[in-house]
Homo-oligomer: A and B are copies of this chain.
Amino acid sequence: MIKIGIVAPGRKLTLEAKEAVEEIATASGLPIEIVVHPQCFLDHGHFAGPDEARLEAFLDFANDPGIDAIWFARGGYGAARLLAGLPSMLASCAFDKVYLGYSDAGFLLAALSRLGCRYCAHGPLVADVLRTDGAATITRALGFLSRTDASGLDPNLGAIANLAFNLTILRTLLGTDWLPLNDRPLGQSVLWLEDVAEYAYATDRNMFQLANNEWFKRCAGVRLGRFSLVPENDVAFPITSEQAVAQWCTKAGVPIIGTGDIGHDADNKIVPFGLLSDWHQAGLIP
C-alpha cells in the first residue's frame, strides 16, 4: 500500500476536487491510501492558510515516515514563501519521498531537489481533477504515484537528466540559491518549459533572463511545452511565445531538442527530475 499525502503550499483545495479525486482513487482499485491534510482547506485570502500553517502541514507529511509520496493540491502562488523554512527542518525520510506537482509547486520541487530530495516530478496537481478530462489526468497521476503504471510519463524522457518548470516560476528562481543542481552530479539536464496566461512580450522578457543566466547555459537542451492562453496585448508582439523561447535559446547556445507534452491542461504528462534509471532502480517506476 502506497500512502499519498496531499498538502496545499499555495491556494486552497476545494472540497469538490478532494471528493472527486478520492472517488477516482477508490474506483481505481490501486494499492493506495490518500490522506488530505486539513490545512488544504484553510482560507487566508490568496493562500491556503498563513505561511506557518502551510509550512507546518508540508513538514507534517514530508517528515512522516509512513507517507510515501507528497502530492501538491493546487498552484496559484504561495510555495515560495515556505522555502526559507525547509533547510533545517527536513527529516531523513523526507529525502526518499516522491513529490509531484507543477506551476507554483515548482518552487518546492526546485528547493527540495536542491536540498537533496531525489524524487521530484513535474506533473498533475490534485486540483486538475476539475479540468475537462481531468479524471484521466488524475488516473495517470495515481498510476505514477502508486508505482504501478508508467503510462503517465512523457514518452520523450530519454537517458539524460530532466528538469521541468513553468517558465515564470523558473525565472523567479534565477539569481537565488534555490535552483536545482544542473550539470552535476547527474550531467547536463534537458529543461522542459511551459507557461500559461503570459503575454508574449512577458515570455520574451523571461527568456532574456534565462538566456543570460549561467545555470541555463549549462542545460543540454530545451523541450518546448505548451504556452497557452497567451493574452492579446494592446499592440501585437511580432513573434509568438514559442518563437521567443526559440530565439533566446539560440542566442544562449542551448538547442531546442523537441516538444514536451506538458502544460497547464489535462494532457500535462509527468516529467520526473533527474535520470529515469534512478527512479527505476529505486522501484518508483515499474
Q: A211 to chain B: closest CB distance in Å?
A: 9
Pick from B47, B213, B251: contact of A238, CB below 8 A. B47
Q: Which residue on chain B has the smallest CB distance to residue A248?
A: B81
A175 touches B174 (CB 8 A): yes
Residues of A57-92 whose CB lies within 8 A of B: 76-77, 80-81, 83-84
Q: A160 to chain B: closest CB distance in Å?
A: 24
Q: A220 to chain B: closest CB distance in Å?
A: 19
B209 touches A45 (CB 8 A): no
Instruction: Enumerate chain B residues within 8 angstroms of A201, measured Cβ to Cβ.
Output: 46, 76-77
Q: Would you give the 0/1 interface string for A21-58, flagging 1 where the beta carbon is closer than 8 Å to chain B?
A: 00000000000000000000000111100000000000
A175 to B237 alpha-carbon distance, docked (Å): 25
Instruction: Enumerate chain B residues within 8 angstroms of A173, measured Cβ to Cβ.
Output: 209
Q: Is A279 an interface residue (CB 8 A)?
A: no
Q: Which residue on chain B has the smallest CB distance to residue A177?
A: B212
Residues A215 and B175 in contact in the complex (CB < 8 Å), given A46-B235, A235-B11, A235-B46:
yes
A237 to B78 alpha-carbon distance, docked (Å): 11
Q: Is A204 an interface residue (CB 8 A)?
A: yes
Q: Is A236 an interface residue (CB 8 A)?
A: yes
A176 to B205 alpha-carbon distance, docked (Å): 13
Residues A208 and B80 in contact in the complex (CB < 8 Å), given A11-B235, A233-B46:
yes
B177 touches A45 (CB 8 A): no
Residues of A227-250 whose CB lies within 8 A of B: 233, 235-238
Q: A70 to chain B: closest CB distance in Å?
A: 21
A236 touches B84 (CB 8 A): no
Q: Is A178 an interface residue (CB 8 A)?
A: yes
Pick from B47, B204, B212, B233: contact of A178, CB below 8 A. B212
Pick from B45, B174, B206, B212: contact of A237, CB below 8 A. B45
Q: Which residue on chain B has the smallest CB distance to residue A47?
A: B238
Q: Is A139 an interface residue (CB 8 A)?
A: no
A residues bordering B, Cβ < 8 Å? 11, 44-47, 76-77, 80-81, 83-84, 171-178, 201-202, 204-206, 208-209, 212-213, 215, 233, 235-238, 251
12 CB contacts below 8 A, A to B, read A45-B235, A45-B236, A46-B235, A46-B238, A47-B238, A80-B208, A171-B172, A172-B206, A172-B209, A174-B209, A176-B213, A177-B212
The 8 closest A-B pairs by CB, nearest first: A175-B175, A174-B175, A45-B238, A176-B212, A80-B208, A77-B201, A175-B213, A46-B237
